[in-house]
Chain A
Amino acid sequence: MRPPEHVLADLDAVVRRTFPDRDFPDAVSADTRVFADLGLASIDLVVLAERLEQHYGRRLPFGAFLKGLRDRRADDIAIGELVEFLRSNLS
């Protein structure tokens, strides 16, 4: 499995590249929340998912990930959860 810090760095770079006009915090950590801290909206996640697939060169099961969030009534997503999702599907 890829080290979490590498995937976090990838994710940070892809987020900033995908939304170049947004005002993101300087440092993004596993605890950073996607909606509350980064200010992303649900449609941004669809766009980001596609960019991550491009970055890694493969389809990733984002549909199941997003539905899982809804099923457990999550009100936000920690970057750490996204990192773990990516790690488990990139191995």
Chain B
Amino acid sequence: MPDVAVNGIRLFYQQAGDGPDVVLVHAVTSNQAVWAFSGLVDALAADYRVTTYDLRGHGASDRPAAGYTSADMAEDFRQLHAALDLGPAVLVGHSFGGVTALHAAALATEVVAGVILSDSFFPGLRDEEPNFGKMALWSDLRETFGRVGADLGGTVDFGRLFRAAADLPPEKMKELEAIYGAFGKGWLRQLAPLAETTCGEDVMAVAGLTAGVIASVRQPVVALYDEYSPFLATCRWLKANLANCTAEVIPAARHLAMLDNTAGFTEAVRRHLGRLCTGREACATKP
């Protein structure tokens, strides 16, 4: 199994294709399988060397007790980038994966050639985002967990989600698994182990990625935000405050654009990567 030792842990990764480097970074509670199932890896591998990996605590990577802030994850990425000997890479980050990507762009300017964000909420922009915590996805989750007697609270709280999953009696977890179906069972199963870590709290920490640091990013940034995203104020802020930011709305998506509107999301990512790389604005193939 290809894995790489970085920052004191082991990360599981996959690579496909050849060309300038593109790295896909998944969201909290997700894993790199989302990129395979959405077809994005195949769609990009014809023109790029595509690297996907599981963030710490997720998928088949190690699950240390602590170190889940975007600063920690950005350092994991920087070391993964070095260990795999990648060229300057464009990072495509979904949700918290985008926070990690932008943090890496700020901290490791030489290895991040550009960032494509997909519907990311930034803890450092909490004051700019009136809809923080009001995600429709969270309301759905709250309603579903409520059916088995677990209260997730009114606003997004990953720590509470992980603890609720860990505290569910086995028969209630079985009920929940029946609701989420065969695909969702795997997603449910990874929640409880994260209760043994600081992940839930860490991912909501600013961790140095303040509004000022975000605004200081000089690499090209593409802000892909979903039509029904709660974070459109964040999208507008990024467009207004970053030196080089292109914003675009992905129609018919509500935070999971790569699954909600696979064709639209894939086309947008390909088009922006082409723009960044053809004009050599960002990409370069490792000599």
Contact = CB atoms under 8 A, between A and B. Distances in A.
Interface of A: 33, 35-36, 39-47, 49-51, 61-64, 66-67, 69-70, 75-76
B31 A42 contact: yes
Contacts of B1: 47, 50-51
8 contacts: A43-B32, A44-B186, A47-B1, A49-B36, A64-B42, A66-B36, A75-B182, A76-B183
Most buried by A among B34, B36, B60, B186: B36
A23 B259 CA distance: 31
A41 B14 contact: no
Interface string B184-215: 01110110000000000000000000000000
B183 A42 contact: yes
Contacts of B187: 41-42
Given A47-B1, A47-B60, A42 B186 contact: yes
Q: Is the interface of A mostly helix, strand, loop or mixed?
A: helix
A50 B14 CA distance: 9
Interface residues of B, number: 29
B139 interface: no
Nearest to A70: B37
Nearest to A33: B182
Q: Is the interface of B mostly helix, strand, loop or mixed?
A: helix
Given A50-B14, A51-B1, A67-B42, A41 B185 contact: yes
Interface in B29-53: 31-34, 36-39, 41-42, 45
A46 B182 contact: no
Nearest to B182: A35
B182 A63 contact: no
B37 A67 contact: yes
A43 B2 contact: no
A46 B14 contact: yes
B183 A62 contact: no
Given A36-B182, A44-B186, A76-B183, 12 more contacts: A40-B186, A41-B186, A42-B33, A42-B34, A42-B186, A46-B59, A46-B60, A47-B60, A50-B1, A50-B2, A62-B36, A67-B36
